[in-house]
Structure 1
Amino acid sequence: MAHPVDVHVGRKLKQIRTLRRFSQTDVAQRLGLSFQQIQKYEIGSNRIAASRLFELAQIFDISPAYFFDGLYDDTNGGDKQADPGMEIVSALAAIQDETVKSRIVTFIEDISGLTVARQG
C-alpha cells in the first residue's frame, strides 16, 4: 500500500505536469526515465527521491516545496474532500484535442490574469 505522502507528492506532480502541458513522456525524457516510471510516481506506488524532486522542480520552474503544499490537509485524518483544482486538472488532461485544450487554458489565463507556462 502506498504511503499517503507518496500519493500526495504524486498528485502534485501530475497537477503541475498537466498544468504545464507536459506529457508523461516529456517529463520522462528530461529525466532519462520511462513514462511508466512517471506513472508510478504519479499514483504514489514509487517514491520520488529528494534529488529527483529537485530535478522535477527545476523542470517546472517551481520550488521543491510545491510538492508538499497541502500535505497536512491530505494527512490530517479528517474526511478527505475532493480537491476541485485537481479535478479540473484531471478533466483538462483527459481532453484529447490539443486545440480545444489550448483554448480552455487561454480562457482560464484570460479570466485569472495568470499565465500558464507552456512546454518549450
Structure 2
Amino acid sequence: MADQADIARPRAGGGTGGDESAGAGDEDLSEPRASTRASTADRHVGSRIRERRVMLGLSQQQLAQMIGVTYQQAHKYERGLNRISAGRLYEIAQVLNVPISWFFEGLTPDSGPIELSPRQRMCLELARNFAAIDNEKHQEALSQMARALAAQAPGRPAGRETDTD
C-alpha cells in the first residue's frame, strides 16, 4: 500500500520526479521547449480549423459532432489548448474537405501563425452567413447583388459581367 502512495505523490504535486513509475503524465512538464514550439503550431492549426469551419458555415457544435468529440474539446482544439493527434487531424481534414497540409500553410518556424486581417475576417463571416441562408433564391439574389456591386467598384471596367446565364 505504501508503494502506491509513493507513486501517487509525485503526480499529485505535478512533480518532475525521476521515478519512472510516475507515468507518462509528467512528460509535458519536463520538456518546456518542445511544449512551447508545439503550442505555436497547435494554435496555428487550431486557427486554420476555425477558419475552414467558419468558411463552411459550421458551428463548433456541428464540427464536434462530425468528428465525435464534445463541443468543449472542439473549442480547445481551435484555441490550440489541446493537441490534436494525427488520426484526429486526419478525420478533421476529411470532414472539412481539405488536405492535412492545408492546416500547416502559413506556419513558419520563425514567424509563427499568420493573423487574419479585418477584411479576411469579414470575408469569412460573409461566407458563413451566406451558407446559413436556407433559401436558394435568396442566395442567388445575394450573389447577383455582390456581382453588381463588384462591377461598380472603382478601377473595374463598367458593364463587365462575370456570369452570362
Shorter-chain TM range is 0.5 to 0.7
Q: Do the aligned partners of residues 77 and 89 (structure 1) sit closer, same or farther apart at CA in structure 2, a change above 3 Å counting? A: same
Q: State TM-score, norm by structure 2.
A: 0.51
Q: State TM-score, norm by structure 1.
A: 0.68
**Structure 1 residue 76 and structure 2 residue 110: aligned?**
yes
* Corresponding residue pairs, total: 104
Does the 8 A contact of 1:15 with 1:89 survive in 2? no
| Larger Rg computed on CA atoms | 2
Supply the RMSD in Å over aligned alpha carbons: 3.5
Show structure 2 runs of 5+ residues with no match: 1-35, 151-161
AA in 2 matched with 1:50: A
How far apart, CA to CA, are the structure 2 residues paired with 1:47 and 1:21? 24
Show structure 1 runs of 5+ residues with no match: 114-120
State the identity as a percent: 32
Q: Do the aligned partners of residues 14 and 86 (structure 1) sit closer, same or farther apart at CA in structure 2, a change above 3 Å counting? A: farther
Higher relative contact order, chain-length normalized (CA < 8 Å, sep 6+): 1
Which residue is equivalent to 2:78? 42
- The counterpart of 1:88, out of the listed 122, 138, 141, is 122
TM-fit CA distance, 1:81? 6.4
How far apart, CA to CA, are the structure 1 residues paired with 2:111 and 2:97? 31
Q: Do the aligned partners of residues 7 and 93 (structure 1) sit closer, same or farther apart at CA in structure 2, a change above 3 Å counting? A: farther
